Amino acid sequence: MAEIKWTATASEDLHHIFLYIQLDAPNSAKDVINRILAHIELISKQPLMGRKVTEVKDTNIRETLSGKYRIIYEVGPDIITLRTIIHGARDFKHV
């Protein structure tokens, strides 16, 4: 199982997702976060399970989906670095 390293951006993203969902659906916010965290645990066990991110050229950057959210991460030799967690409807230029 690879070690997971959280970037400040990914940590902030998760926090903001929780706060945003909590505004409209307080009972669902914790469930959404738990599902995202479960996907991150899967990534630590199977880092190559995610598909390559088409918006970037670096082939070590991958993503997996948890509901409506894209979990963007970088596969290293021993460490998986979580880059960002964004809503699937959002477009991004740089990870």
39-83 tens-digit pLDDT: 999 999 999 999 999 888 888 999 999 999 999 999 998 899 999
Three-class DSSP category at 9: helix
Give dist(CA 68, CA 44) in Å, integer: 20
**pLDDT tens, residue by residue, 5-43:** 999 999 999 999 999 999 999 889 999 999 999 999 999
- In 3D, which of 5, 65, 60, 73 has the Cα closest to residue 36? 65
